[in-house]
Structure 1
Amino acid sequence: MSSSPRPAIAIVGGGPRGVSLVERIGANLADDAVLDIEIVDDTEIGAGRIWRTGQTRELCMNTLADAVTLFTDDAATIAGPVRVGPTLHEWCRLVRHDAGDGGDVSDIPAAHAAVFRRIPVRPGLAADYAAELRAQRPESHPSRSLYGEYIGWCWSHAKAALPPGVRVRERLGRAVAASERDGRQVLSLADGSALRSDAVIAATGWLERGATPGERAVRAAVDADPDLVWVRPESPVDQRLDAVPDGAHAIVRGLGMGFFDAMALLTLGRGGRFAETPDGLRYEPSGREPVLHVTSHRGVPFRAKTQYGSLPPRAALSHLRGVDWTAVPRPIDFDALVWPLILRDAFADYHRTLARVRPGAVDLEAALAAIAAADLDAPRVGVSGAATRERVAVLADAVAPAVPDPRDRLDLVAAMFPGDGLAWASPSGFDAWVAAFVSDDLAASALGADSPLKAALWAIASARGPVGRIGAFGGFDAESRASGFRELGSVGGMAGSGPPAFRNAQLLALQRAGLVRFIGPAASVAAAPGGFHAVSAAVRGSEVRARVLVDAWMHVHDVDATADPLIRSLADAGRVRAFEAPTRTGGGLATGGVDIDPETGRLVHPDGSLDRAFHMAGIPVDQTMHDAIISPMPRTDPTMLRETDRVARSAIDAALTRRTP
C-alpha cells in the first residue's frame, strides 16, 4: 500500500510577497511540522520579475532605503508570531560593515544584526554594489537590483528558519492552469509539468491584461506597417524600448513612474550622461537618444519626492484619525464623510508649517479653528472634482481672514489639479509652463519640511494608507469609489508617489536639450496613415506625428479582462469572480479586483461559496483590499505583512487538514 503524500503548499510568485509568505508559513508552523513547499516563478525566485537582480542599475526604487522591510515588528497586528529583522538600509549597512568597508552599525538594533549574521550574503555582493552602498542614506532610493539582492537574502533566511520537517522545492517556470484532482490541487506549468499540493497561494504580482479596443487599433496599424513601432504598456524593464530607433521621434503616453524609468533607459541607457554645471544640470547626449513627445491626462509629470534629508515625517491627519471608523456603518460615503476631513488636514498642515517657517504670516489658532468649523457639507454634483473645488473654496474663504497677505494663502485647487481649465497659444508656451511647474515643484521639494505646500500635499498623499484600510472589502460605496476615492488615489499618487527629485531635474535638462517635449494635457492619440498622431485640445498647434508610440504605464488588473492563463483557468472552472462594491441603492457593482475572503484570502466562487484551498494575495486584490501595492514599511503595521500572515495561516490549515474530494 502506498503511503499518503506529504502535505504541500504551492506558491505562485517568488518575489517579495512570495518570500514573505514562506517566512510567515515558517513562523506559524509547529516545530515538528511536516510539509512541502513548492514555489514557482517565471523569472527569479527570491527577487521576482520586477526586482530581478540582473537588471540595469539605472532603475531605482520609488521608496526609501530605510522605509522598506520584509520583517514583522512590534507594531504588527497579526495573529502569528513576530520575527524581526533588518530593514533594507540596515541590511545594506551591515553588508558594507562586514565586508570591511567601514561604517558604524552600533545603532542598528542588536536583534536585527543577529538575524543578519545568521545567513551570509552571496559572495561578491559588497564589491558589486560598493559605490551604491557607500553613498546610501536612509532616504536614498536604492537600485531595484539591490532591493532584489535584499529579497534574495530574505529568501535564504526564510528557508533556513523553516522547521526541519519542511522541504522547499523551487521551480523556474510559469503556472498556466489550476485544477482539482483526487482531492488535491494541481498547477500546470508552461513546460508541461505539474505541481500537486493541498493548498495554493497565488502571489503573482502584475498580471497581463487583454487588449483594449484602442490597443487593438494600434496593433492593427503596426501589423499593417512594419515600419511602425509600438512599445506596449508593461513594466519598463520588460518593455521593448530597444525597438525605438536611435534619433526617432516618439509619442509617449504617461508621465508617472513608468515614464521616468523609460526616460532613463532611453537616455542614460543609450550612453548619455548628466553633468553638473554652474548653470544647473546639463545633458550630454550620445546621439542615440530618441526625441520624446509626451502627454498624460494632466499633461505634467508627477511631483518630485520632498527632500527631507531623512525619512518623511508622519502626517498628523488629526481630522481623519479623529473618527472611530469602526463605528461608522458600511458602506461609507467617501465623498460626504472622508474627503472633507482629508481636505481639512491638508489646510491644517499647510498653516502649521507656514506659522513655523514664517512667524506672523498666519494667526494659527484662528486658522485652525476656521478650518475645523468650515461647513463642508457640499451639495452633490455630477463630477467629483467640482465638489472638491467647492469644498476647497469654502476652506480658503474661511481661513483667509487669518492670513493677511494673499500671497501666503493656499491655492489647493491649483496644486491638486495643475493646469486645469487653462489653454495655451503654442507648444512652446506649454513647454515653458511645464518647465516652470517642474522648477517650482523642485524648489518646494528642496525646502523639505519647510515647504507649506508640500506639507499640504503630503497630508493628502499620506491619507491613502489609512483610507485604504477604512475602505477595504467594500468599506466605501461604489459611487464614491468612482468619484472621491478615485480622486484621492490620483491626487495622492501624483503628490506622494512621484520620482526622486533628481529624476525631475534630469527631465528639465532633457527638455532644455530638446529631447523631451510636452504635447499638452489629455492628448488624443490615434494611428494615422504613416504613423501615429497626437494632439491636445488645450494647446494650439500641438499636433505631433511620429512612427513610434511608447505607452509608459501599466494596466490596472481586471479579473474579467485578464489575459493571464492561470486566472482564466480559474474563471473557466467557476472558482473566481470579480469583487463587487456595494452601491447606495443596495446592489453591487463589479470592480477589477479578485474577490477573496477577508479573513483567509481564499477565493470566492461566483455562487458566493469559498474555495477550500486556492488563495490570492497582492496586486490582483488591490481593488478589493486596497493598499496591496505598497512595499511594507517598518513600524507601520503594513497591509502586505498582515495579509501574508493570515493567508499563510489559512494555507497551513488547508494543507495540514486532510480533505477528501
Structure 2
Amino acid sequence: MERSSVTIIGIGPRGMSILERIVAFARTVPLPLQVNLVDPGECGPGVHLPRQPQHLLINTLASQVTIFPFAEAVQIPCACEAPSLTEWARAQGYRRFGEQFVKAGAAGGGEEITDDDYLPRQLLGLYLSWAYAQVAGAAPPSMTIRHLRQRAADMAPQPGGGYLVELENGFSLASDFVFLATGHCRNKLTDEEAWYRNFAQDHARYNSKLGFVRHVYPLDRLAGIAADATVAVQGLGLTAHDVVAELTVGRGGEFVTEDGELHHIRSGMEPQLILFSRNCMPALARGVNQKGLAGRHQARFFTRDAVAEMREQRLRAGLGGQLDFDRDLFPLVIKEMGYAWRTVADGVAPDAGWYAVGEDEKEAIDAMLFPLRGRSFGSAAEFRAFFRNCLEQDLCEAGRGNLGSPAKAAADVLRDARAVLQDVVENGGLAPASHRKFLNVYNPAINRITFGPPCQRNAQLLALMDAGVLSVAPGPNAALRIDEERSRFALYTKIGNGTVTAHADVLVVARLDTYSPESDDSVFTRNLVKRGIVRPYFNGGFHPGGLDIDYANHPVGRSGRASSTLWAVGCLVEGAHYYTHALPRPRIHSRQVLDADRCVRELFTQLAARHPAAPKKRAPRLASGLALQRC
C-alpha cells in the first residue's frame, strides 16, 4: 500500500497537538504514513526553551497547563501517558527550594510542588520535550516520524496534488498534506523602528551605552546593556516582566522578605529601568485560585446561546449576522461580571431572573477595565502615586482569591467566558468597525485585568521601585522621540500644565509581534504570499491580522479558494480566530486540542478515501465537527 506523507511545519505546542492527534488516529486506523516535522529547534518546546533561567515564569498555574487532550473532549483518546505540567514535575522528582525548582533525587528535601505554583518556563520546555518523546514513542509501526532541523523557506503546490516544501538548506520534500503551525512570528521593522535602530547605530560613538532592542527573545539579547545605562521598557505586560526579571534577578539582584515585606537587594549590575506604554497602567495580578483545577464561573447572561440568539434575531430582521460589541455585547459582559462581583460581595448569588447591575459593581468594574477614564493628573508624582496605589490595592484583592474578592471574581468571568468571546469575534462575527474597536480598546483591557502575572511579579515591581531601580513614565501616552544632542532616547509626557521629559540610553520593545502575512519577516511567509497560497484575513476593510481561512482551518489563497490538503493553526490564524495562544487546560475542552482534533479527523477522512481497504482496529466516526464546550 502506498505511503502517504504529512508535513508539520513548526513543532512547538500547536504542532505537538497536531502530531499527538495524528498518532492517536494512526493507532486506530493503521495506514502507511510518513510524518515530517520541520523545525530548526527541539520538538515540543517551541519558544519555551528548556535552556533558560528559572526566574522566567509561566503566568498560569502549572496545574492548569497540559499539552494533552482531555479524554472527554476527544473521541479517540491520547495514546500515551498524559499528565499536566504539575503532575509531570512531581513525577520527575522536582521540588521547590526557595525560588528554585530542582530535582531532589534520593536525598529529598525541599517542598512538594503544589497546584498553586507558577513554575519556570524552563520546566515547561522540559515537559514539552518529554511529551514529544512520549507521543512519538506511541506511534504505530505503520507510521514513521522524521525531524528535519531546518526552517521552511518555500512551498509550491504540485500538479498531482500536495506540496513540495523547500527547506533553508535547499533540500525539498514532497508532501501530500501540510499543517502550518509556525507559532510566534517576528515582524519587519516599521519605518519608526528602523529610525530608532539607525539612530542607535549612528550615535553609539557619542554614547557607548546607546542601544535599541526590538525583539527581546531570547533574553540574552539584553546582555550587552550596560549596568550604568537607563533603559526605557516599552510595555507593561508579561514580556515586560520578563525583561525586568532578566535585568534584575538575571544580573545578580535578589528579592528577600523581611518582616513580611519584600525588598530588592541590588547587585550593582542592574541598569535603571523606566516602564512606559500607551496607558501606562500595570497588568493586574492573578487572584489566588480557589476554584480548583477546572472550576469556572457558570454564565447566566453572557452565554453562547445568548450570542447565537442575538445573531438569529438580526438575520430574521434582515440586518445581517454581524454584531456590534458596544451595543449588543458589552452590556451582557458587564452584567455577567457584575453578577459575579455581587455574589462574592454579598456572600450569596442574586436571583438571576431579577438581577440588574448596581452602581457599586458598575463603578468597580469600570475602574478595573478603564482606570484612567475621567482622570487627569497634575504632576508626575501624582500619577506615579496613583500607579503605585493601583498595584498595592490589586495585590490585596489578589490575595483574597478569585472566590473571595469581588474584583477578582468579576475579572475571572472574562477568562471563564473565553469561548463566548471567541463565538462573538471569530469569522467576522463583529462588524468591521466594532472588530477594530474591540481589538484596540476592549481586548487590551481584558488582557490587563484577566491574564496578568502571578502576584509575586507585581510585588517585585513595588520592591524595585522602593530600591530605586525602577520607575514608570511620568504619565500615560508618553511620546517617544530621539534627542540627537544628548544621543539618547526621550520620553515626553504632557501632564498638568506642562511636559515632563525622561531620557534613556536603551530602548527595549517589550511586546510580542502579532502575525500578519503583510508584516511577517520570514522568507517562508513571503513566498507563500507570492505564490498565492495564502492571503491576509479581512473582515470587510479591516485586517485584524492572520491568514484568511475557511471554517475548517484551510488557508484561503489569492484566488479565493481554500486547499483541502493544507491547514493553518495557532498564531497564524489570530484574526479570523481569537485568542489562539492559550495552552490546553486539564479537564477542559480546550480550543487548541479541539482544533487539532477536527483538522486531523478531516486528514484521516481523506486518507481513508485514498485507502478504502485499510484495516481498522476501532473505526472512528470521521464526520467533521464536534459540538463541545471549549475554552
Change (3 A) 1:128 1:579: farther
TM-aligned CA deviation for residue 513 of structure 1: 0.7
Equivalent in the alignment of 2:223? 242
1:498 aligned partner: 452
Name the CA distance, whole Å, in 2 between partners of 1:651 and 1:230.
48
Seen in structure 2, the aligned counterparts of structure 1 residues 514 and 463 have a Cα distance that, compared at 3 Å, is same
**Which position in structure 2 is the counterpart of 1:531?**
488
Paired residue for 2:325, among 328, 334, 347? Answer: 334
1:174-230 per-position Cα deviation (integer Å, ceiling 9, x unaligned): 112112345342222222222321111111111111222221221221232234644
1:217 partnered with 2:195: yes
- The alpha-carbon deviation at position 371 of structure 1 amounts to 4.5
**Cα–Cα, structure 1 residues 209 and 129, in superposed 2: closer, same or farther, change >3 Å?**
farther
**1:1-150 paired onto structure 2 within 5 Å:** 6-29=3-26, 30-48=28-46, 50-76=47-73, 78=74, 80-81=76-77, 85-96=82-93, 126-127=103-104, 134-150=111-127
Instruction: Please name the residue that 1:516 is paired with.
Output: 470
Cα distance in structure 2, aligned partners of 1:239 and 1:552: 14
Q: Does structure 1 conserve the Cα–Cα contact (< 8 Å) formed by 2:216 and 2:508?
A: no
What secondary structure, in the 3-state scheme, does the structure 2 residue paired with 1:576 have?
coil
Partner of 1:204: 182
1:577 aligns with 2:559: no
- Corresponding residue to 1:626 among 562, 567, 578: 578
For structure 1, which segment, 79-88 or 650-659, has the greater mean C-alpha deviation from structure 2 after superposition?
A: 650-659
Whether the aligned pair in 1 keeps the contact of 2:154 and 2:167 (CA below 8 Å) is: yes
Alpha-carbon offset, residue 134 of structure 1: 3.9
Aligned to 1:281, the other structure's residue is in SS state strand
Greater fraction of residues in helix: 1
Q: Tell me by how many angstroms 1:640 deviates.
A: 0.4
TM-score of the superposed pair, with normalisation by structure 1 = 0.83
The answer for the alignment partner of 1:351 in structure 2 is 342
**Shift in alpha-carbon separation, 1:548–1:281, aligned structure 2, 3 A:** same
Q: Which stretch of structure 1 is more off in the superposition, 471-480 or 52-61?
A: 471-480
Shift of 1:8: 1.0
Q: 1-side partners of 2:87 and 2:68: how far apart?
A: 12
Q: Aligned pair in 2 of structure 1 residues 79, 326: CA closer, same or farther (>3 Å)?
A: farther
1:323 maps to: 305
Superposed CA deviations along residues 589-642 of structure 1, whole A, max 9, x for unmatched, are: 33311011222x221112211124332111110211212111111232111001
CA distance, structure 1, for counterparts of residue 102 and residue 599 of structure 2:
33
1:473-622 pair list within 5 angstroms: 473-484=427-438, 486-519=440-473, 520-529=475-484, 530-538=487-495, 540=498, 542-582=500-540, 588-599=541-552, 601-622=553-574
- Higher mean Cα deviation, 80-89 or 239-248? 80-89
Specify the alignment match of 1:385 in structure 2. none
What is the match of residue 377 of structure 2? 424
What is the CA-CA distance between 1:310 and the residue it aligns to? Answer: 5.9
The answer to whether the 8 A contact 2:21-2:78 is kept is: no
Give the conservation status (yes or no) of the 8 Å contact 1:465–1:627.
Answer: no
What is the letter of the counterpart of residue 569 of structure 1?
N
Provide Cα deviations, 1:475-522, integer angstroms capped at 9, x if missing partner. 222122112465332121011111100010000000011111111212
Aligned to 2:271: 290
Structure 2 unmatched ranges of 5 or more: 313-320, 612-631
Q: Distance in 2 between matches of 1:485 and 1:43?
A: 32
Q: State the alpha-carbon separation in 1 of the partners of residues 106 and 577 from structure 2.
A: 36
Kept in 1, the 8 Å contact 2:50–2:123? The answer is: yes
Further displaced range: 312-321 or 16-25:
312-321
Q: After superposition, where does 1:156-167 map in structure 2 within 5 Å?
A: 156-167=133-144
Contact 2:342 2:350 in 1 (8 A): no
Between the aligned partners of 2:183 and 2:110, the Cα distance in structure 1 is 28
Distance 1:37 1:319, change over 3 A: same
Query: Which has the higher mean CA deviation after the structures are superposed, 30-39 or 510-519?
Result: 30-39
Q: Is the 8 A contact 1:232 1:550 kept in 2?
A: yes
RMSD: 2.9
- Provide Cα deviations, 1:3-39, integer angstroms capped at 9, x if missing partner: x973211111121111111110112224431111110
SS for the counterpart of 2:565 is strand
Secondary structure class of the residue paired with 2:60: coil
Q: CA deviation at 1:426?
A: 3.1
Q: Does structure 2 conserve the Cα–Cα contact (< 8 Å) formed by 1:70 and 1:632?
A: yes
Cα 1:188–1:322, aligned 2, differ >3 Å: closer, same or farther?
closer
Answer yes or no: is 1:188 the counterpart of 2:166: yes
Cα deviation code 1:538-585 (max 9, x no counterpart): 365531112211111112112222112111111000111112224xxx
Q: Secondary structure at the match of 2:289?
A: coil
* Structure 1 residue 92, shift from structure 2 partner: 2.1
Question: Deviation of residue 307 (structure 1)?
Answer: 1.4
For residue 528 of structure 1, report the CA deviation from its aligned partner.
Answer: 2.2
CA contact (8 A) 2:334 2:365 kept: no
Residue 326 of structure 1, CA deviation: 3.6
Distance 2:288 2:30 in 1: 49
Distance 2:420 2:466 in 1: 40
What are the Cα deviations for residues 430-486 of structure 1, in whole angstroms up to 9, with x where unaligned? 222211110111011111122112222222343333211343222222122112465
Match of 1:318, SS state, is: coil
Q: Quick one: which amino acid aligns to residue 154 of structure 2?
A: A
